[in-house]
Amino acid sequence: MNTELRPFSLPLTDPLDTARGAIERREGLLLRVEAGDGAVGVGEAGPLPGWTEHYDECESVLADAVDAVDRGADPADLLADLDATPAARHALDLALADLESSREGVPLYRYLGAGGAVESVPVNATVGDAPRAETVAEAERAAGEGFGTLKLKVGARPLSADVERVEAVSDALPDVELRADANGAWEYQQAQQFLDAAGDRLAYVEQPLPATDLAGLAALSGPVALDETLTAVDFDDALDADPDAVVLKPMALGGPRRAVEFARRARKEDVAPVVTTTIDGAVARTAAVHVAAAVPSVPACGLATAAMLAEDFAPDIAPVADGRAVVPQGAGNGTADTWGYHD
């Protein structure tokens, strides 16, 4: 089996503010795996500190994996060694799933377990933190573009201001499903106050408390989704906090097959699985669409992130229109030609 590793650096349209500072580029690695029968798979590692390992560790781990495969190791046997580096694991898991589904002549989402053809999946738009009038205007623009589900960023402003923003959008767009995302900004009392004041306007509040505060999350009264928690604790422990939804990021969880596995486990506990990207390039972003398509009756997912990149290494074959992402129907992930575009 032949392997090849290539770095990439994709500029963002606007800097992404994080707890570790602003991010202006998404830097990562593409992994190409070719079997002896000519079947090819391409994976993507987009490390994002706070969610995954750092770039240097990701690059080192993937380089070691490539060397091992070149010495005759079975790539599938290496996955267990990459659990501590989810972005690197994602690249290898996706490359192998892409190769195997291409070899079988089925779209990746069918290989991941979908029972029938899925042409598109619903996606949400994200409305950033802004004053009330600007928030409403941005929400109305998104609704006008066909998005039936909106996620509002909260937690950076006084609690009363965030409640007013939610109420204003809800009043302006009564037929649109609203979610809020606090990114772990609140303490228990603040989170409960927000849920008491605005919870009836929202499908759920995403990560209202810090990631590891499982007792606090379980004690909250109101609809709650877990996001950062899923990379900080064991998945079963996260489910024990009794969330209404889990936000599954394949890059942060270690690959598309693990994300689908977690989605199925969540559904068994009557927890809604919502698939999102980590502002990925075309390969990983398309794979996330396939993951969503493999989840029956998937809720609106956070897959409308292509516009956050000023440049990409391949055309977008899973574009978003009218609030839905197109699911590619060709064999595999549909991004094997990325290598040619990358040149």
pLDDT tens digits, residue range 271-293?
Answer: 999 999 999 999 999 999 999 99
pLDDT of the residue at 18: 56
Q: Are 249 and 280 in contact (CB under 8 A)?
A: no
Enter the CATH code of domain 2-105.
3.30.390.10
CATH, domain range 120-342: 3.20.20.120
Lowest mean pLDDT among 73-82, 145-154, 314-323, 334-343: 334-343
Domain ranges of the chain: 2-105, 120-342
- Calculate the average pLDDT of the chain: 94
Q: Which helix (H) or strand (E) holds 302?
A: none
pLDDT at 341: 55
Which residues have CB under 8 Å from 340's CB, separation 6+? Answer: none
Bigger pLDDT: 314 or 23? 314
Determine the Cα–Cα distance for residues 256 and 141; give it in Å rounded to an integer. Answer: 32
Give burial (CB, 10 Å; 0-12/13-18/19+) of 140.
middle
> What confidence score (pLDDT) does residue 24 get?
87
Tell the residue number behind the tokens 């090819």, with chain if given: 40
pLDDT tens by residue, 96-153: 999 999 999 999 999 999 999 999 999 999 999 999 999 999 999 999 999 999 999 9
**Over the stretch 38-48, which tens digit does the pLDDT of each residue have?**
999 999 999 99
Structure confidence at residue 1 (pLDDT): 82
Residue 19 pLDDT more than 60?
no
pLDDT at 15: 80
Same fold flag, 2-105 and 120-342: no
Residue-level pLDDT at 66:
92
Q: What is the pLDDT of residues 235-256, one digit of tens each?
A: 999 999 999 999 999 999 999 9
pLDDT (average), residues 16-29 = 76
Q: Is the pTM of this model over 0.85?
A: yes
Q: Could you give the C-alpha distances from 139 to 136, 237, 300, in angstroms and in order?
A: 5, 35, 16
What is the pLDDT confidence band of residue 343, given thresholds at 50, 70 and 90? Answer: very low
CA–CA distance from 136 to each of 79, 153, 166, 199 (Å)? Answer: 45, 12, 9, 18
